[in-house]
Structure 1
Amino acid sequence: METGIIRRHPLFGLLAVLVLAGVMLRIVNVLMEPRLWADEIFSVALAESPLVDIVLATLRFDTHPPLYYLQLHGWAAIADSDRWFIVNSTLQSIAAIAVLFLACRKIFGVSPALWAAAILALMPLQLFFAENVRMYAMVMILEISLWYVLQRMEQSGRTSMPFLWAALGLGLGLTLTHGLGFFVAFFLFLATILRMMKRAGRREVIRLVVVYGVVALGAVYPLAIGALRQTEGLASWDLSTIGIHLTLTFLGMEFPWPTLAGFLILPLMLLLPMTQPASRWTVGLLVLLPLCVLLFISVAFKPVFIYRTLGLFLPFVAIALGLYADAVFRARMPLRQSAAMAVTMLLLVASINYTLRFEKAGYRDLIGTWEARSAADSIMLTNGPSEFWAVLRYLEGGRGRSSALAIQPPVRSHMLRLKQRLEAAGRGGLFGSSDHAAVGMRLVYPYVPVQIVASGQSFWLLNPSAADCRVLALADAEFRKVEAYSSRGQHLIRCQRSSGSLSSPPPETHGSG
């Protein structure tokens, strides 16, 4: 019966091809040369740590909760190549398309489900999530599943225990997978509770509110950690920057005219669904309202990466557009049908553009250059733990499973006091047992230490920052750049002391923590 319905759908062939195109683009990206950039190196380093250390290292270094890294730890038990780690995200992204189709088919029927699956499959940012060793593809599965469970309760007007337990588990899973997973969970529960207040009894609403209250407790972790950590993102009402974030969200990386394209696509992606009753509630409460709140929080309180965070709501953009497209095709409204097809084809073009033009930054080539052109006892100074772990991953003899807590830069101020208390209690492992790694005679540091700079004649710098330059100035030594290499957005330089005499090393200082 269901198969016959699918076959009779007039656009089934086209929509199925579009879904397949999205899946194939994901596979193409996996088959290309795999590269891991800084945040992905971070994920891999944590995933290859012992289980207990994953939780501690997440607490020590990250704004995101540990659930994704625990999942990736199980995946890493099978293999540890770069491509293998990327495949984890790719399979999760493909699974998210299937989950969205199945959920929408159960809630709305086949036609909206086909539209929603095709639109999600073609979203360029979803392709980016599919080839990144980060938690975004996993988040898509969790939030779509949570949306489905809440929709089932809303449709029936009953909060049965199996659905309540499922909502609780999925809500906590979402909250403990991404640092802003609680933000998505809040709007999902809010939208359902508001609808349930009109359609169900008071008892049903109270039970759902209680479940959300437990889910909200899980937000204590990401909120507490996020409040302590410095974040980057949109910090002012800069229209150009906002336009770029919107372009990245809806049209992906490397799309032409990024400061303008995002504003042009916004009405098509969000305002078109507002014109149809079937899709108005979804796009209003699950996309437009979160976008406004997100912009306000980022500018007024704490900067947020708008495009990645707004990207968490893309499944609901796909659902809203799917409902809109189904409605206008059923009503035979030619102008609006053209608009729906135009959005879908634009996403296809943007995804192809992303696949052809975007290249992730990677470290393998540059680390190979350093190994080939440096002395056997050379020193590498890196700009933070992720780049430090990248050097060890790609340096011959440096790779191997170890705890991300084993080697860390020194800490300062309140973190130093915490370290001293923990060490006094015999629990100093949270801050590492060493501040550098030795691979043969080579030394690799996760920061730029003043004493090493002041007492040495030559060293290498990987992606030096402004803070690194200040450390060089503190060393009271004159260095000149004698070699420089760049590869895929990464930069490597060798510095050598200009004068023959060594300056006496200054007193020991603590690096950033």
Structure 2
Amino acid sequence: MLHSGGRAARLAAGAIWLCLTVQALLLLYRLELLPLWGDEFFTLSAASRTATEVLRAIAEEKNNPPLYTLLLHFWLRLPWPGDPETAARALSVLITLTATLVLYRLWVRKLAAEVQLWWLVLWALSPCLLLYARMARSYSLQVLLFALALHAADGWLGRLESLKRMVAFAACSTILLYTHYLPGLALTAVVIGMAAWRILAGRKAKGFLPVLLALPVILLLYLPWLPNLWVALQRMAAAAGRPTGGGSFNSIVLGIGYLGFSFAFGETPSLWAASAGLLMAPALFYLAWKGVSARPALNVLLLAVAALSFSGAVRWVSFVFIPGRLLFLLPFVLMALAEGAVSRPRWGRAALAVMLGLGLASTAGYFNRRDFLNKAYLVPYEEITQLMNRSAAGSGSLVVADACNFDPAPIARRLAPTTRVIFVGCSSGIEQIQKRILDEKPHLIWQISNTHDVSPGGTFRLLRQWLVQRGPARRHLFVPYEERDKLLMLLLGWRELPTHMIEVLAVTVN
């Protein structure tokens, strides 16, 4: 076993630069590989406006705070070579590399030398990080700011009487809140709750004033965006009952399982790699638990933050989008795995080696654009839009877009100006939709939808059946499913087994 002194410590200290080099090569390679998906498209569209319009667009969207989009706005004003999409993704990579340095300096280098080495390898080669750190979204910035805010929280909890440390925590938490609600709210609630409990349980007045002032200071710093936060919380509460995973209990189970699998093996495994990963799951869970036990004080805080963040994410998004929302926890999960493996060296190292091998297989799937568990990242919005625009017949085209199972906004915003669009949500009734279509009197109707319809009563299936009766229909399919996906469909209880994710139906009205 390696020890923190001597040769291993020197190796660990130098390995950070090798880690950064490997990470930069992986993250910067072919940034244009994947098409812009819905959330990236919105972020870039908003960031291309003036700063005032950015704030207005983010406020109207109601899902996210504005810091990342504002940062991207000013980044894109610089004279970067290439297209804005690649420049935006490069910003995420730069933030990720900065986060690696911050994580190492604040957290990792305090660990035993062998733990440091394992973490550096796991982090540099993480297929989960590879997927999300190359997106033009705030995921990388959340990782960086959460590491800073957690360090400030840990420092303040160690000296509750320090006003200076309280202000540092309040400032870091507020900046995190301006980046994303989930980590900011969860960390603020847990830290202030723990601080108040320590003061009350210890019956000490020494730290009472800083604890009393912490929340008011954060609210004061966040005052300009507070109304938007309140709207987002109301929407999250209202979204609790929508169909994201087949019911509340199913959503929780699927969310936890998918999150753990994504963190360990990524989201692009082949069938054999996914099967091996499932067999490895109990061993990795045990190692993570042993790692958590090694630092109980800090990890109790992290577990509470994770529980609160997960409860918010599972209310708001489908389980396949949860890993991105909780990516800020990934570096600390990998630390726990590394500590657990070192504490059980006889088989712990072998388990991590197998995990790394399966992760590399997942990385190969990513760069080959195959085996994606979440097909939303592969939707060719540009190709679909070009198909519709080529076939547009003057002002007679109408697009009926599935806004329940799919994000059609990137297509709608690229359509010819004469093309009319009807967005159909989960609560839309079939008769209401049919009436709107007939009122438009179109010559050509496009229906774009996800082939997996979770709308109440199968709205889009019924609409498809009605449309094909209006005239000759042409069917275009995009994003094929693989054999592994069909097995997953059966396990998830899908009634249909589609061959592709996206269907575009073109109906020429008689």
Same fold at TM > 0.5: yes
Which residue of structure 1 aligns with residue 423 of structure 2? 447
**Does the 8 Å CA contact 2:161/2:210 hold for their aligned counterparts?**
yes
- Answering whether residue 443 of structure 2 is matched by residue 457 of structure 1, we say yes
**Does the 8 Å CA contact 1:366/1:485 hold for their aligned counterparts?**
no
More divergent stretch after superposition (100-109 vs 467-476): 467-476
Could you tell me which runs of 5 or more consecutive residues in structure 2 were left unpaired when the two chains were aligned: 425-432, 481-500
Q: Distance in 2 between matches of 1:63 and 1:23?
A: 30
Which residue of structure 2 aligns with residue 481 of structure 1? 473
Q: Deviations over 1:446-474 (max 9, x none)?
A: 52675454412213333377656667899
Which residue of structure 1 aligns with residue 65 of structure 2? 65
Correspondences of 1:163-242 after superposition (within 5 Å): 163-186=165-188, 189=191, 193=195, 202-204=205-207, 207-208=210-211, 210-212=213-215, 214-215=217-218, 220=230, 222-229=232-239, 233-234=244-245, 235-238=247-250, 242=256
CA distance 1:335–1:492, change in 2 (3 Å): closer
Q: Distance in 2 between matches of 1:298 and 1:392?
A: 27
Could you tell me how far 1:482 is from its partner in structure 2? 3.0
Could you tell me how far 1:143 is from its partner in structure 2? 0.2
- Answering whether residue 388 of structure 2 is matched by residue 370 of structure 1, we say yes
For the aligned residue pairs, the C-alpha RMSD in angstroms reads 4.3
Could you tell me how far 1:125 is from its partner in structure 2? 2.0
CA distance 1:275–1:59, change in 2 (3 Å): same
- Secondary structure of the 2:383 match is helix
Which residue of structure 2 aligns with residue 311 of structure 1? 327
Could you tell me how far 1:129 is from its partner in structure 2? 1.3
**Does the 8 Å CA contact 2:20/2:97 hold for their aligned counterparts?**
no
**Does the 8 Å CA contact 2:449/2:460 hold for their aligned counterparts?**
no
Which residue of structure 2 aligns with residue 250 of structure 1? 264
Q: Distance in 2 between matches of 1:7 and 1:445?
A: 62
Q: Distance in 2 between matches of 1:103 and 1:474?
A: 60
Q: Distance in 1 between matches of 2:156 and 2:94?
A: 29
Q: Deviations over 1:68-92 (max 9, x none)?
A: 2222222333466322222222222
- Secondary structure of the 2:380 match is coil
Correspondences of 1:15-414 after superposition (within 5 Å): 17=18, 20-30=21-31, 32-78=32-78, 81-104=84-107, 107-108=110-111, 112-154=115-157, 157=159, 160-186=162-188, 189=191, 193=195, 202-204=205-207, 207-208=210-211, 210-212=213-215, 214-215=217-218, 220=230, 222-229=232-239, 233-234=244-245, 235-238=247-250, 242-256=256-270, 264-275=279-290, 277-287=293-303, 289-290=304-305, 305=319, 306-324=322-340, 328=343, 333-356=345-368, 357=370, 358=372, 360-375=378-393, 377=395, 379-381=397-399, 382-384=401-403, 387-393=408-414
Q: Distance in 2 between matches of 1:445 and 1:378?
A: 11
Q: Distance in 2 between matches of 1:278 and 1:199?
A: 25
Could you tell me how far 1:139 is from its partner in structure 2? 0.7
**Does the 8 Å CA contact 1:191/1:285 hold for their aligned counterparts?**
no
Q: Distance in 1 between matches of 2:119 and 2:382?
A: 38
Could you tell me how far 1:142 is from its partner in structure 2? 0.8
> TM-score with structure 1 length normalisation?
0.70
Could you tell me how far 1:144 is from its partner in structure 2? 0.7
Could you tell me how far 1:496 is from its partner in structure 2? 1.3
Q: Distance in 2 between matches of 1:201 and 1:108?
A: 32
Could you tell me how far 1:171 is from its partner in structure 2? 0.7
- Secondary structure of the 1:94 match is helix
Q: Distance in 2 between matches of 1:271 and 1:191?
A: 29
- Secondary structure of the 2:419 match is strand
Could you tell me how far 1:237 is from its partner in structure 2? 3.1
- Secondary structure of the 1:486 match is strand
CA distance 1:328–1:474, change in 2 (3 Å): closer
- Secondary structure of the 1:463 match is strand
- Secondary structure of the 2:269 match is coil
**Does the 8 Å CA contact 1:65/1:221 hold for their aligned counterparts?**
no
Letter aligned with residue 482 of structure 1: R
> TM-score with structure 2 length normalisation?
0.70
Q: Distance in 2 between matches of 1:475 and 1:370?
A: 17
Q: Distance in 2 between matches of 1:293 and 1:56?
A: 29
CA distance 1:64–1:44, change in 2 (3 Å): same
Q: Deviations over 1:409-430 (max 9, x none)?
A: xxxxxxxxxxxxxxxxxxxxxx
Q: Deviations over 1:461-494 (max 9, x none)?
A: 3337765666789999824423535357544331
Q: Distance in 2 between matches of 1:344 and 1:469?
A: 42
Could you tell me how far 1:8 is from its partner in structure 2? 5.0
